[in-house]
Structure 1
């Protein structure tokens, strides 16, 4: 798989990711008040977080900046991995996986770097793009999430269940975006198709194959 095809994958993922985020940001009010029930088990709603999984964040005044800078360096490493893999003519599985991981990481970094100075907040009103009163500063934007799949919601757990007995249980409780899907898919390819992803190309006469 050529580097050009990898760039095409990255471009398409970023295009879909940013279009969906901008659409949701400018057409949804933050949280439950602005949600749309596509089905009983699938909802679209606007949630924003500091950029880590499950809404976690690094404490302190510089936590968000540290996270964003770390991610930029990480993306640089992934970019080199992709370039090096293309030079080594690595398997299509590996090239697709790295491309998806790279695109997803960049998609969320765009939010972190730019969204704080592009949008105003989404609380109790629709956000305005290129607002004169942005909600944050450079490198302090929040990542936009929108896909919510509460397949089981507020199910009362029996008292005998350890730790969560007697409490309402929701599955699946995560809210995520296109970039997160790309990263998860890329990692999934590396795990499920590990042998194919990291297979080495061997030449037998005029034929080439991965082993």
Structure 2
């Protein structure tokens, strides 16, 4: 696969990711008050992720800045990996597509972290404004926009179940975005099609 085609994959995913985030951010109120039930098991629900996966936050004054800088360094490394894989000529299309998906997803969430804090106001109790005069944050301190929610089923753990016995649970409880889907798909390709992805490099 050529580098041009790989970059096209990255561009398309980035475009869809950012358009969906901007639309959700400017048309949905934060939290359940702005939720839309597409089906009983698929909902559109705006939340904003302060940190890493599953809402994990790095504590401290510079935690968010460190995370954003780390993401930038990681994306630079992934971008070089993509370029190098294409230039070697013998890398499989599985590998190149996987890297492209991971790069696009990581870059999509970095855009949120770097820019959204200074181009949006908050979404609490009202619709956010794009290019506002009263942004909710600063450079490198933006929040990642998530909106895809698939609560497939819910219930209670059996009373005999260790630690969580009797407690209510919901599956699948994560809320994510297009960039997260791209990253997960890319990693999934590397795991499921590992031999096909790396066979030329052995």
TM-score range, shorter chain: over 0.9
Distance 2:172 2:31 in 1: 17
For 2:168, the equivalent position in structure 1 comes to 168
Is residue 109 of structure 2 the alignment partner of residue 95 of structure 1?
A: no
Q: In 2, are the aligned partners of 1:114 and 1:141 still within 8 Å (CA)? A: yes
Query: How does the TM-score come out when normalised to structure 1?
Result: 0.94
Tell me how far 1:200 sits from its aligned partner.
1.1
Tell me how far 1:158 sits from its aligned partner.
1.7
- 1:162 partner SS: coil
Residues 2-81 of structure 1: pairs in structure 2 closer than 5 A: 2-81=2-81
CA RMSD of aligned residues (A): 1.0
Residues matched between the structures, number: 201
Moved more, 156-165 or 23-32: 156-165
Gaps of 5+ in 2: none
In the TM superposition, structure 1's runs of 4+ consecutive aligned residues that sit over 2 Å from their partners are none
Distance 2:18 2:44 in 1: 16
Gaps of 5+ in 1: 202-210
Please say which structure displays the higher CA radius of gyration: 1
Instruction: For residues 161-192 of structure 1, give each alpha carbon's deviation from its aligned partner in whole angstroms, at most 9, with x where no partner exists.
Output: 11111110110000000000000000000000
